[in-house]
Structure 1
Amino acid sequence: MINGTDYSSDSLAPASLSSSIQFLKTLPHAATKKWWTGILFIFSLVIIATQIQSGAFGFAVDTLTGRSLPLIGTGTSALWTLIIIGSATLVFEIISRYIGEYLLGVKLHNLSIDLSRACLHSVLHAPVPEMMKLGTGNVITRMTKDINDAIRTLLLIGSRAILTVVVFPITFVSLLLIHPIFSLPLIVLGGGLFYCARPVLRLLPLATNSMSVAEAHRNSAVLDTLRGLPTLRVFSLGAWAIKRMEKKSWDSIQAHADRLPILLRLLGIAQFTYGLWMLSTIVLGIVLVASEQLSVGGASAAIFLVFRAEVQVFHALFFAGDIQNTATSIGRAVALAKLHQPSAHTDCVDLNAPVDVELKQINFSYPDGGKIINNLDITFAAGTATAIVGASGAGKSTLAGLISGLQHPDSGQILIGGIDTNQVSDMWTARNVTLVSQEVHIFSGTLRDDLHFAAPHASDEQLLAVLAQVGLKPNTSDWVRAFPQGLATPVGAGAKDLSPEVQQQVALARVLLRNPQVVILDEATAEAASDSTDTLESAAKLVTHGRTAIVIAHRLVQAISADRIIVMDHGKIIEDGNHESLLALGGRYTQLFTRWSGSTAKS
């Protein structure tokens, strides 16, 4: 809990370690048993080389005292022999370590690319409601920071972590060969280290996930602020936006700070354990030398081995913590990558003619909110245009989102041409039902690239034709002003902003290229300036003609020309008819139309 906000829970829990490992094994560049055998062999050679160095430099003390060593001899020649052996193994260690780190680095970079690609594929194919629930900031954090942090950590500690795993058994054997009693402190202190560190290490995954969730909330705030910058300026909400950003940023910093005490406890445990190990080795060495059970060189070699293992004791704890952090980060990314599972549904063929859209006993409510749609039954006849009107909060946009697949109903059925949308994939729904909302997204690239998202194989002539149909006729003044380079004009992020009217026209052109049999316009012409109203209204009529069309009407001129008008209030249908019949009824539609007519006359 940070400043009243709980960051310990997440809308998508990280995948477990075993689940993450199983998923990583399915990636194209997954490490095989052969690769693991090779990498462990290389790093084992590194450790063996360091053990030989420690023995060589330790037993060199015996040559200085005149003691003869088996196979080495005594005197200056024996000393030089040990120096040469130590130097050669040092060079061998450096080369072997470099090869191992290179192979490990290449494998990790390839795996990071595979995992990022898997996450992107999942995001593009997962159910839209799941993505909306997860949030943009959370998705971006999982696809970028979590993967980058995990790979960066593994690149930093990967080779040393493997060396740490290998070094203790080899050091144990080396100490055992010098004198069996030297292995006793390693056994006792190793068990004590495991017992003391285990409960502390268990705290790390939760702290790490809280940190990642706090960062995701901060990223969402940044994206929302950038996206809503014009609105914030119009309503003078800059100070509020800055204060919100400050809170989210400080929450992220606090989450990092909450994790620090856990790391400090691990540091203290490591320092205490290593101190006892070194002290016990020195004491045992003195006792063995004094009782003439071991030479000075042998005791020196044992101390050298423990000295060389100092860093590994700290690695054993901090790498355990880092590995848990990495496992949490990878688990978050894997959970995202697995969010899209191949659908068990068998998709029907795409629609080739207008169809009925039926809603049966539909109920829907947002999390932690009241019911928005309440037991709704309605049928939109094939090939007709239905306008839905009502006050703000009546449930109009929610209904549009349910039909288009942006939300799933809590209960009930949505039938598109008799096909239950619960029994087909979201991809089928997206191909056959198109929603154009008030907020239009223009894809980054050229105008041609943007339109090709709707029809990848459309020719330039086809693109220009549909643009002309929605009022963007080439070589006109409006065209040249908006698209000076024609279809090659850069649009979207990083390019010059298009006016809201032109953005809506591009969106409507994409609908014509997509040619769906069911189209929903959710206040798609609401942003039109007065001089662009007629153009956008004509484009909207063209898009809805010959299709099953549902229009969320902001301007009631759209309702006047509709085949049917539905008035909604608090998620229920309160009036249903055409323009003339509803005016004759003298109810809510009459009030809305009278108010709209008066405001239109004044303007």
Structure 2
Amino acid sequence: MTALPVASRKAVRSYARKVVLKHPKQLSLALGLQALTAGCGLVAPWLLGRLVEQVQSGINRVTVMVLLIIVFLLLQAGTLSLANYHTARLTEKVVAELREDFVRDVLRLPLATIESAGVGDLITRSTRDVQALTQAARTNVPSTLVTLTTMVVMLGALLLVGWLMIFPCLLAVPILWPIARWYLSRARDGYLRERASYAKATESLAETINGSRTVESLRLNSWRAQRLREDIGVAYQAERYTLSLRSVFLPVTDTAIAIPTVATIVLGGYFYDHSWVSLAGITAATLYTQQLAGLIDLLLYNQDKLQLAGASVARLLGVSQERTDELRVSAASAEPRRAPAVPSRDIEVKEVCYGYSAGHDVLHDVSFTVREGERIAIVGPSGAGKTTLGRLLAGIDPPRKGSVSRGGVALTDIPRSELRSEIALVTQEYHFFNGSVRDNLLLAKPSASDDELRECLEAVAAWTWVSELGLDTRLGTGTREISPAEAQQVSLARLLLSDPHTLVLDEATSVLNPKVARDLERSLAALLSGRTVISIAHRLHTAHDADRVIVMEKGRIVETGSHQELLAAAGSYAALWTSWQGTGALPSTPGVA
């Protein structure tokens, strides 16, 4: 299992800067309102300082001061509300764009890359990481922007009150600076390890749930439970590490930020005795420093959340980095070729070797050509390499050795959007999206008419039950449940609507009963006339109807020819046919297909 990459700090900063600067007006408005809020917040402490010094002027003057304080506090509340509103709008827009970029990049990843990364990594990135980022964007980012703006304005106000009063604030720097560097140098890597451990635990849990029947039948419950406990243990240790960082960082900073307030009072008294500052200046400076301490505390607290969010952004951007690397490698490895006047749709397989792990090839020196419009059946016992070969024919995986090409161009070098519109792989795995049958079909062709939808549904023997419900009836979880057979029929109809010229069918009718599957395949055969169809066949009636049958054993082609030719040869295919005719199914031999 190979995890998807993680973006560097530089890439995260660059992306954040690029996305935020896409909205300069909203950013300027938010920062302007925050500065105005900070300015209003500085007036009240200054007025209190004047009030302490000038209270002897009379009750009328005190009343005016109090009223002014109330007015500016109300103004501060109003501008703060507006600042938070516009900051939240900006951050929500930025997060929405990042989430859209993430989904787009995931959908553009090669299927082999997604399978290599595992479902746990993608689930964790699309749930925990997106959630952490969203929470930080809604609360911690706006809070940090307001805090930083207020701190800058407040430090300026301290200088105006009396430049000497800035020195007490500097006493906390020798403590805050090294502890912040210590924490920030470790937090990002700690949170990345924490997220990676969540991904591993999620992967283990998903595997156990998806394979629950196998786990139960082979009595692997205890082994799977032990593995999950080990993965959770790793996650526990990762969380414990980040908690240990916070348990040092936060108490030290809480202690350090109390120093400036105490120092302002002590040093302020000394400065006042020497007539270096006024009583009003000391009062205002003490209030400013106390507010500043609270702001520093809030800023440091937000730093912890922002480190977590930064790790999440790095993981989300890593998906984009993986896609960029794939494109770069593809571009670097592709040799310049002159496109033929009429692009050939023949698929050539030359001396292909392939394995899922180094030194253990599943396919060995496989060579043949699929002619345009030809119907080929690939048969053999389980573990012969049929499904693996189907993945290479669909351009999902590149061969370790040899080539799989169309018109002299390797399938994996063809732009994915073009390849998927021309060659489609249909496996026994299917998916029905929550929604109506129409919604599911229009994913393949948004402009399709009702007549086209009906034609495709009739071809897969689904129109009978769809017409009873209606094309727009909502189906799926929480509504009318759809059976596995019905879901597979809709998936096949969606495939027909997408109209590829080459189909690779890997047990595409596996969940249908044999009679229905046979009728469906005959209907598909009529509809797919003129298209290239490569069937990974476990039910040999598919091979009976094919133009050519390729027989595989142990990753090699052992026979090729028509159904009648192979029967006459009395070889491996004839033995398989005889066995299937007697039992109705192929013998099952464990192994990689």
TM-score range normalised by the length of the shorter chain: 0.7 to 0.9
- Counterpart residue number, 2:435: 445
Q: Is the 8 A contact 2:427 2:506 kept in 1?
A: yes
Deviations 1:122-156 (A, max 9, x none): 23333333333344443344344423322322321
Paired AA for residue 7 in structure 2: A
**What's the CA shift for 1:359?**
1.6
Matched to 1:548, the amino acid is T
Whether the 8 Å CA contact 1:115–1:337 is kept in 2: the answer is no
Is residue 461 of structure 2 the alignment partner of residue 471 of structure 1? yes
Deviations 1:439-489 (A, max 9, x none): 2222332222222233333322233233333334x5xxxx34x76314334
- The equivalent position to 1:102 in structure 2, one of 85, 90, 99, is 85
Which residue of structure 2 aligns with residue 69 of structure 1?
none
Shift of 1:198: 0.6
* Letter in structure 2 aligned against 1:11: A
- 2:40 paired residue number: 49
User: What TM-score comes out, normalization by structure 1 length?
Assistant: 0.84
Consecutive unaligned residues of structure 2, counting only runs of 5 or more, are 588-593
In the alignment, which residue of structure 2 is the partner of 1:535?
A: 519
Deviation sequence 1:549-569 (CA, Å, 0-9, x none): 211111223223323222323
Counterpart of 1:456 in structure 2 is 446
Distance 1:276 1:218, change over 3 A: same
Cα distance in structure 1, aligned partners of 2:250 and 2:346: 67
- The answer to whether structure 1 residue 358 and structure 2 residue 348 are counterparts is yes
Match of residue 399 from structure 2: 409
Distance 1:503 1:286 in 2: 80
Runs of 5+ unmatched residues, structure 1: 1-8, 67-73
Give the deviation of 1:89 after TM superposition: 2.2
Match of 1:40 in 2: 31
In the alignment, the residues of structure 2 paired with residue 106 and residue 323 of structure 1 have an alpha-carbon distance, to the nearest angstrom, of: 18
Task: Report whether the alignment pairs 1:176 with 2:159.
Answer: yes
Kindly indicate whether residue 535 of structure 2 is the aligned counterpart of residue 557 of structure 1.
no
Range with bigger deviation, 539-548 or 457-466:
539-548
Instruction: Describe the SS at the equivalent of 2:433.
Output: coil
**Take 1:85 and 1:127, find their aligned partners in 2: how far apart are those partners?**
64
The answer as to whether partners of 2:405 and 2:411 remain within 8 angstroms in 1 is yes
Aligned letter for 1:39?
Answer: A
- Once the two structures are TM-superposed, the CA of residue 430 in structure 1 deviates from its matched residue by 0.8
Which residue number corresponds to residue 523 of structure 1? 507
String of CA shifts for 1:239-287, please: whole Å, max 9, x gaps: 7777766665665555434321212222122123113323322321232
Greater shift in the superposed pair: 398-407 or 451-460: 451-460
CA distance in 2, matches of 1:225, 1:497: 24
Please state whether the residue corresponding to 2:300 is helix, strand or coil: helix
Q: 1:152 aligns with which of 122, 128, 135?
A: 135
Distance across 1 between alignment mates of 2:222 and 2:454 = 44
Q: Distance in 2 between matches of 1:88 and 1:192?
A: 38
Which AA in structure 1 matches 2:96? I
Aligned length: 580
Q: 1:162-186 deviations in whole A, cap 9, x for unaligned?
A: 2332344433333334443332233
Partner of 1:71: none
Cα offset for 1:208? 2.0
2:11 match: 19
The alignment status of 1:305 with 2:288, answered yes or no, reads yes
Q: Which residue of 1 aligns with 2:556?
A: 572
| Mean Cα deviation higher: 162-171 or 309-318 | 162-171
In structure 2, C-alpha distance between the alignment counterparts of 1:35 and 1:471, rounded to whole Å: 55
> Which string of whole-angstrom CA distances, capped at 9 and with x for unpartnered residues, describes residues 493-552 of structure 1?
445444444444333333433332211111223333244343244245446543222111
Q: Using the alignment, how far apart are the partners of 1:463 and 1:495 within structure 2?
A: 22
Per the TM alignment, residue 92 of structure 1 is displaced from its structure 2 partner at its CA by 1.9
Q: CA deviation at 1:105?
A: 0.8
1:319-374 deviation line (CA, Å, top 9, x unaligned): 22322222222232333356556977999999999932112243333356833334
DSSP 3-state at the match of 2:530: coil
2:360 counterpart of 1:390: no
Of stretches 213-222 and 260-269 in structure 1, the one that deviates more from structure 2 is 213-222
Pair 471,168 (structure 1): closer, same or farther in 2 beyond 3 Å: closer
Counterparts of 2:265 and 2:452 in 1: how far apart (Å)?
85
What is aligned with 1:6? none
**Deviation of residue 98 (structure 1)?**
1.0
After superposition, the Cα gap between the structure-2 partners of 1:79 and 1:500, relative to the gap in structure 1 and judged at 3 Å, is: closer
Change over 3 Å in CA distance of 1:489–1:530 after alignment to 2: same
